[in-house]
Structure 1
Amino acid sequence: MEKFNQIKTLISQIEADAHKFYDKGNSAAGTRLRKGMLALKLLATEVRKDVTARKHAK
């Protein structure tokens, strides 16, 4: 559940950069958004692996 909470926190952190990039055209915010999305992808992969491992352990 810890990783899931990290995902929620990360999404709230990169939300401001998403608004800056899409609404205001800030290129630097786009770079930060891409970096945050990569971190989100990696966390999501870890959650998927954990769910699979716990599911098969039963």
Structure 2
Amino acid sequence: MEKFSKVKELIASAEADAEKFYNNGNGAAGTRLRKALQEIKGLAQEIRNEVTELKNKEK
């Protein structure tokens, strides 16, 4: 559950950069947003693997 909370934190922190990029055309904010999304993607994959592992243990 710790990783899921981290994903939620990353999304919340990336929201400001998303607004700056899409509403103001700030290129640097776009770069920060892409970096945050890459971290989210990695964490999401780790969570998926963990869920699969725990689900298969139960069988």
The TM-score, its normalising length taken from structure 2, stands at: 0.97
Deviation, structure 1 residue 27: 0.2
Q: 1:48 maps to what in 2?
A: 48
Q: 1:5 maps to what in 2?
A: 5
Q: 1:57 maps to what in 2?
A: 57
Deviation, structure 1 residue 54: 0.2
Deviation, structure 1 residue 5: 0.3
Large movers: runs of 4+ above 4 Å: none
The TM-score, its normalising length taken from structure 1, stands at: 0.99
> How many aligned positions are there?
58
Deviations 1:19-58 (A, max 9, x none): 0000000000000000000000000000000000000011
Query: What CA RMSD, in Å, does the superposition of the two structures yield over aligned residues?
Result: 0.3
Flag structure 1 segments of 5+ consecutive residues without an equivalent.
none
